Amino acid sequence: MTGHETEGNVQRGSFHVPGFRAAAAASGMRYKNRLDCALIVSDGPAAAAGVFTRNRFSAAPVILCKEHLAASRGTARAVLINAGIANACTGEEGLRRARLCAQHAASVLGIAPEQVLLASTGVIGPQLRLEPLESVLPGLVSALRPDGWLEAATAIMTTDTVPKTAWARAELGRTSVTCGGMAKGSGMIAPDMATMLAFVATDARVTSDVLRFWLGEAVARSFNRITVDGDTSTNDTVLVLASGAADHTIISDPTSSEGAAFGRVLTDVCLDLAHQIVRDGEGATKFVSVTVCGARNRERAARVAHTIATSPLVKTAVFGGDANWGRIVAAAGRAGVDFHPEGVSLYFDNVCIFRNGRPVEDDDVEEKASAVFRQKDIHVRLDLGEGAEEDTVYTCDFSYDYVKINADYRS
Amino acid sequence: MTGHETEGNVQRGSFHVPGFRAAAAASGMRYKNRLDCALIVSDGPAAAAGVFTRNRFSAAPVILCKEHLAASRGTARAVLINAGIANACTGEEGLRRARLCAQHAASVLGIAPEQVLLASTGVIGPQLRLEPLESVLPGLVSALRPDGWLEAATAIMTTDTVPKTAWARAELGRTSVTCGGMAKGSGMIAPDMATMLAFVATDARVTSDVLRFWLGEAVARSFNRITVDGDTSTNDTVLVLASGAADHTIISDPTSSEGAAFGRVLTDVCLDLAHQIVRDGEGATKFVSVTVCGARNRERAARVAHTIATSPLVKTAVFGGDANWGRIVAAAGRAGVDFHPEGVSLYFDNVCIFRNGRPVEDDDVEEKASAVFRQKDIHVRLDLGEGAEEDTVYTCDFSYDYVKINADYRS
């Protein structure tokens, strides 16, 4: 990842969103000598919405976020994030500590506790250490500044190798608004450890309902396209806050032209962050888009695409630069979708290697396919030949380093 | 794997089954200078049953086996197996070649073509080469001998590192019968390439219906416990043949005491072969039994056990010797089963590391758990605390060598 790639009009690097400030600090809770805490604060009450893990073992900060968003009727003033300890599987004591942590942040900021949202990432099991968090909070608050996002993005990393930010502008009627955010996560292969977190802010004036509507859509098309259905960690969290600092009439209809324009920019930012997570996947050396097209409906396409994109055999072949189409069609065949094999064709970029259920026998097709697999970015397209719907899932390869990172994680 | 371990009264190594002969040969079809073809022949018509892949891309030999078993009303005389080319995704031409292959074997053996069953393992895509197969067939037939199984087990290996055989005796009433077989396959992680094949023979006198009944039960408790539901390759095949050479009244009721005794010995042999496949998993260094108990029903237990046993995070932790219970409970939490987290407990062998939804905080529990994870054999037991049903899935760890084997497979 170069850090300079973009998706459409989305930019990366430093940014600011009117109405928001961010900061980072080093608490020493688990990591030594590195930033491990981030704080995002809205100058006034912001509309807020969240999408959370569906794991039965939801972490304490996830439970707290849901409670606070309900109690505050979809508003929030601050988000406090720590890296190193996930505060997951920690029982009542974990939830008690999360509450104390939110209360402490609220008192330092002079706001109500339910206006504070929390997120944690790191090792499952240990209790959150409150003392280090509490001792850095005053410094965190005084360090808040409009362009603090990149530092905050650095603080929330665990096995990530680069901080991930994305931002874009959109015209809502005659008003230009900004939508910007940060994310952490080490690849779709392993969301149940990596913990995917994303925090997006905008100065658009939208109701909580509009925010919730478009966050659901944006996540479905971005973060949920880099993970298997339900394959979520104990801590996965996506939060979006809207300060309303922009000077336009409040958007209360998600399907109005302004509402749709807002949905697009939110989706663009989420999709860019999602791609960055895949590119920085644990041990990843390649980025693979898996599109399944020609499907009777989108659900069938998604199911086949997910099965291909999560197959260890496909991912190790991509790592080895081996255009092993047999593993791809075999993965498709076990996806639990009753397509007809004789209708299936497979493309690597624009090279057709498998057509109507049989390998293409041109002399140079293997060489062309191998050339595609030597690229850093690979587009796999499987046509089911049964309809007009499609879906795309993004994945990375499966390397020695994935094993190394995960065999040694806790030592 | 030492080659001398056994499950219950099951033996490994060389064996013979009255009424059967086996042989192996080197055809050079893809591998050089190694055995790559095996032939099993019954002296007379044998009752036969098979369980096959559910992959949408069923390989040509799978299609042929189903046709022949139907045409012969559940009888067979011979099974011909080749390693190196899977004859999968090869369209009509692949099926034509499979038929020619069976016809040729039938004519050399002097039997009807539908009495010949086929199985193939290896690379998906290339067409079967008939000439090498045809040229070794006369030699194969003349090499047939009662104790040829171990050599046959060697011939059908691909990425396997050891041949896999298992056999046991059982008393059916006052008659002692033998049940013995061979398998190949390189671990449950990757059935879609490895292709799991197993061939079991017995001299018991049983009807085709009884054979089919008990094969279904045996596979459900053995080979289907080392693989994810539906996660089958294009070629997966389990065949059982019964010569009826033993001197007892034919068993036509699977639930009679003799029928049940036959079912037990068949299951024991299949389970032992299944365990050998896991122990020889690609890159495997450890053997893990994942039992989920205390479940409301067996399906819920199986679903959670499968999710744990296939998690790359769990498997890399096992490789690293890291007793990372957090990954195990997180995998359980995303299995799609709505258990209550506060009822869940987790044991490594007899060490309870997680009880009623929270980590056990004894000082020495981590050290005890780490000691278990240093063993070659690890028993993970997750108690859902909601009922009395359980299920067990067998898996291995996920190592550098798994990536190496699969990144380089075709080169």
User: Could you tell me if residue B329 is inside a domain?
Assistant: yes
Name the H helices within A26-129: 60-71, 91-109
Minimum Cα–Cα distance from A411: chain B residue: B322
- pLDDT value for A411: 46
Return d(Cα B257, Cα B20) in angstroms, integer. Answer: 26
What crossing angle do the helices spanning B312-319 and A400-407 adopt, rounded to 10°?
70
Q: Is B54 on the interface with A (CB under 8 A)?
A: yes
Place of tokens 């509309």: A47
pLDDT tens digits along B50-95: 999 888 899 999 999 999 999 999 999 999 999 999 999 999 999 9
Question: Do A264 and A399 have their domain in common?
Answer: no
pLDDT exceeds cutoff 70 at A253: yes
Q: Locate A71 and state its tokens.
A: 């109690």
Searching chain B, which residue's CA lies closest to the CA of residue A283? B403
Three-state SS string over A188-242 comes to CCCHHHHCCEEEEEECCCECHHHHHHHHHHHHHHCHHHCCCCCCCCCCCEEEEEE
Q: From the list A125, A340, A402, which residue is nearest B359 (CB)? A: A125
d(CA A36, CA A133): 10
Looking at A185-189, A272-276, B55-59, B116-120, which range is the least confident one?
A185-189
E-strand ranges in A256-357 read: 287-295, 345-348, 351-355
Helix (H, G, I), strand (E, B) or coil at A70: helix
Q: Which of A55, A317, A329 sits opposite B407 (nearest CB)?
A: A317
For chain A, say whether B312 makes contact (Cβ under 8 Å): yes
Phi/psi of residue A354, each to 5°? -150, 125
pLDDT bucket at A315, cuts 50 / 70 / 90 = confident
One domain, residues B53 and B174: yes
Residue A269 belongs to what domain range? Answer: 20-279
Average pLDDT over residues B299-326: 89
Q: Is the pLDDT at A2 greater than 60, yes or no?
A: no
Residue B314 scores a pLDDT above 70: yes
Say yes or no: B64 and B212 in one domain: yes
- Decide if pLDDT at B151 tops 90: yes
Q: Whole-angstrom Cα distance, residue A47 to residue B360?
A: 40
d(CA A227, CA A215): 17
The stretch B320-348 carries a mean pLDDT of 92
Inter-residue contact A315 to A187 (CB < 8 Å): no
pLDDT digits (tens, 9 = 90+) for B232-269: 678 899 999 999 999 999 999 999 999 999 999 999 99
Of A231 and A359, which is predicted with more confidence? A359
User: Do A204 and A250 meet the contact criterion of CB atoms below 8 Å apart?
Assistant: no
Question: What pLDDT does B363 receive?
Answer: 87
**Residue B136 pLDDT > 50:** yes
Please judge whether B407 and A232 are an interchain contact, meaning their C-beta atoms are less than 8 angstroms apart: no
Residues A65 and A130 in one domain: yes
A342 within domain boundaries = yes
Chain A: nearest CA to B252, how far in angstroms? 35
Same domain? A329 vs A401: yes
Among candidate residues A287, A312, A311, A194, the one with its CA nearest the CA of residue B402: A312
Q: Are A207 and A307 within one domain?
A: no
Tell me if A339 is assigned to some domain: yes
* Burial group, residue B138, by CB count within 10 angstroms (0-12, 13-18, 19+): exposed
Please name the member of B231, B232, B403 whose beta carbon is closest to the beta carbon of A399.
Answer: B403
Query: Which of these ranges, A70-79, A226-235, B43-52, B203-212, has the smallest mean pLDDT?
Result: A226-235
With residues binned 3-state (H G I as helix, E B as strand, rest as coil), the percentages for chain B, rounded to 5, are 35, 25, 35
Residues of A245-258 as b/e, b for ≥16 C-beta within 10 angstroms? bbebeebeebeeeb
CA distance A401 to chain B (A): 8
Split into its structural domains, chain B has a count of 2
Same domain flag for B312 and B366: yes
Q: Residue B377: pLDDT above 80? A: yes
One domain for residues A256 and A381: no
Query: Between residues 330 and 349 of chain A, which touch chain B (CB distance below 8 Å)?
Result: 330-334, 336-342
pLDDT score, position B70: 97
Region B293-315 average pLDDT: 92
Q: Which of A235, A406, A408 to mutate to test the interface with B (most CBs of B within 10 A)?
A: A406
Please state the rounded mean pLDDT for residues A240-258: 96
**CA–CA separation, B104 and A188 (whole Å):** 49
- Are A291 and A274 part of one and the same domain? no
- The helix (H) or strand (E) run that includes residue B277 is helix B257-279
CATH number reported for the structural domain that contains residue A397 in this entry? 3.10.20.340
In a domain, B9, yes or no: no
Which one of B279, B303, B328 terminates a domain?
B279
Measured distance CA(A79)–CA(A149) in Å, rounded: 12
Task: Provide the strand spans (E) within B8-74.
Answer: 20-25, 37-52
pLDDT value at residue A37: 98
End of a domain among B279, B295, B321?
B279
In a shared domain, residues A33 and A116: yes
Rounded-to-10 torsion of CA B204, B209, B211, B217: -140
Per-residue pLDDT at B186 exceeds 80: no
> Are A330 and B232 within 8 A, CB to CB?
no
A223 is a domain residue:
yes
CB pair distance less than 8 Å for B190 and A55: no
pLDDT category, A410, cuts 50, 70, 90?
A: low
Q: Are the Cβ atoms of B334 and A231 closer than 8 angstroms?
A: yes
Q: Say if A411 is an interface residue toward chain B (CB within 8 Å).
A: yes
Q: Mean pLDDT over residues A239-264, rounded? A: 96
Any idea which residue has 């069609």 for tokens? A329
CB B253 within 8 A of CB B212: no
Do B135 and B179 lie in one domain? The reply is yes
Q: What is the mean pLDDT of residues B275-297?
A: 90
User: Is residue B179 one of the residues assigned to a domain?
Assistant: yes
Asked if the C-beta of A359 comes within 8 angstroms of chain B's C-beta atoms, the answer is: yes
Q: How far apart, in Å, are the Cα atoms of A378 and each of A166, A279, A371?
A: 23, 12, 10
**How many whole angstroms separate alpha carbon B33 and alpha carbon B36?**
9
- From the list A54, A91, A403, the residue facing B400 with the nearest CB is A403
Cβ atoms of residues B334 and A54 within 8 Å: yes
Q: What is the CATH number of the domain that holds A123?
A: 3.60.70.12
A118: closest CA among A277, A273, A235, A270?
A235
Determine, yes or no, domain membership for B370: yes
3-state secondary structure (DSSP) of residue B252: coil
| DSSP annotation of A113 | G
A231 touches chain B (CB under 8 A): yes
Q: Which of B89, B307, B402, B410 to mutate to test the interface with A (most CBs of A within 10 A)?
A: B89
Predicted pLDDT at A8:
60
The pLDDT of residue A137 is 97
Phi, psi of B194 (to 5 degrees): -60, -30
CA distance readout (Å), A200 to A6, A133, B13, B283 = 17, 23, 62, 42
Gap between the Cα atoms of A134 and B6, Å rounded: 58
Q: Residue B248: inside a domain, yes or no?
A: yes
CA angle, B92 as apex, B87 and B97 as ends, to 5°?
50
Chain-chain contact of A400 with B403 (C-beta, under 8 angstroms): yes
| Active site positions of B, annotated | 195
Region for residue B227 given its phi and psi (left: phi exceeds 0; alpha: psi -120 to 50; beta: otherwise) = beta
Same-domain check for residues B212 and B344: no
Q: Which of B247, B239, B81, B115 is nearest to B178 (CA)?
A: B247
Q: Flag the least confident range among A7-11, A256-260, B13-17.
A: A7-11
Amino acid type, A341: P
Report residue B254 as tokens. 């699977």
DSSP state of B409: T
Q: CA-CA distance, A181 to A171, in Å (whole number)?
A: 18
DSSP β-bridge partners for residue A201 = A180, A241
**Of the residues A195, A202, A237, A307, which is catalytic?**
A195
Are B322 and A192 in contact (CB < 8 Å)? Answer: no
Residue B288: strand pairing partners: B378, B395
Q: Do A357 and B326 touch (CB under 8 A)?
A: no
Contact A192 B399 (CB under 8 A): no
Asked if residue B53 lies in contact with residue B120, where contact means CB atoms within 8 angstroms, the answer is no
Quick check: B313 and A234 CB within 8 A? Answer: no
Last residue of a domain, one of A251, A279, A307: A279
**Residue B203 vs residues A238, B21, B178, B200: alpha-carbon distances, Å:** 62, 12, 6, 11
**Cβ(A321)–Cβ(A401) below 8 Å:** no
Give all strands (DSSP E) within A210-349, no chain letters: 237-242, 287-295, 345-348
Structure token pair of residue A257: 């032209």
* Distance from the B302 Cα atom to the nearest Cα atom in chain A, whole angstroms: 17
Burial class (CB in 10 A: 0-12, 13-18, 19+), A91: middle
Interchain contact A324–B (C-beta under 8 A): yes
Contact A343, A384 (CB under 8 A): yes
Computed on alpha carbons and rounded to an integer, the radius of gyration of chain A in Å comes to 22
The DSSP result for B181-208, as a single string, is EEEE---TT-HHHH--EEEEEE---B-H
